[in-house]
Structure 1
Amino acid sequence: MECQIPEKNADDSEVLEILKQARTIAVVGVSHKEDRDSHNVAKYLKEHGYKMIPVNPKYKEVLGEPCYPNLAAVPERIDIVDIFRNIEAIPGIVDEAIAAGAGCVWMQLGLAHNEAADKARRAGLNVVMSKCAKVEHQRFKKEGCL
């Protein structure tokens, strides 16, 4: 399956509100390798006041935080599920996010899955597709909004 073009996506005001309200961000597919985007985004989010929760069954710890094998194993409420996985994994991750009671699914830059996004919205979650949480946060911070 190829990445899709978002049919409906969060606009700037929605993205800003999501970033303002969020406290915990689960980074699904995070890597311990410093040259990976997932690692750099997770590090940035942690350094900018969010509780970053690494999710990857390969690791016990990432960036000094306990790493969980999946969203169901995370013992606290998740505000944003930030997805760094291949497009085929997105529907399952969205199902996990819904089951976990997350507030938002965020598909990283280059990732969009319209059917999974619609399912998340029907379950009451906010959805951001094909945007980088780090880039958006930096942009709003530079504009003085965060």
Structure 2
Amino acid sequence: MPAESLWASLGVHVVLTLGIGAVSIFANSLILATAPRELAGAAASISETAVHLDSALGTAGCGTISAAYRQQMEDASTLDMPAAATESIGAAEAIAAEMPALPAVQLLEAATTACSASVGSVTLIAPAVLIVTALVTETLLHCIAAGTTAESDSPGDDE
């Protein structure tokens, strides 16, 4: 990876991490501040569960990228390459370094194309998952709010 790409990736990662950290602080504060005292433990567990869900989704995204990369490399089986080259782009680069020039270039092109395609597929899937999750959350919150309003408006509460 060229040094410029490494620094650009590092910069984006730092900005992303700072943004997520800032949002997490406010989200946790909002969750805990709005919960009744008797439900503080439940509110804290919701916050903690969200962190673990985020971690699990990130791991699933990485696994999806890896599986898509492997599939793309297996589809490029017209190349005579060792099976280890399908494991990761790093493995393909290491193997290409020990190959003659032309097959090495072909292997690197196939690995780069497979990596780009696999990241691209996850880049298309992730927003769809996010949108569906947001819609489900909004629907559930409206149902909960409607149930809370109906309970507070029931007769006999004023006695």
- Tell me which interval the TM-score lies in, with the shorter structure as reference length: under 0.3
TM-score (norm: length of structure 1): 0.23
Work out which of the two has the higher radius of gyration on C-alpha atoms and give 1 or 2. Answer: 2
**Greater length-normalized contact order (CA 8 Å, ≥ 6 residues apart):** 1
Larger proportion of strand: 1
Normalising by structure 2, report the TM-score.
0.22
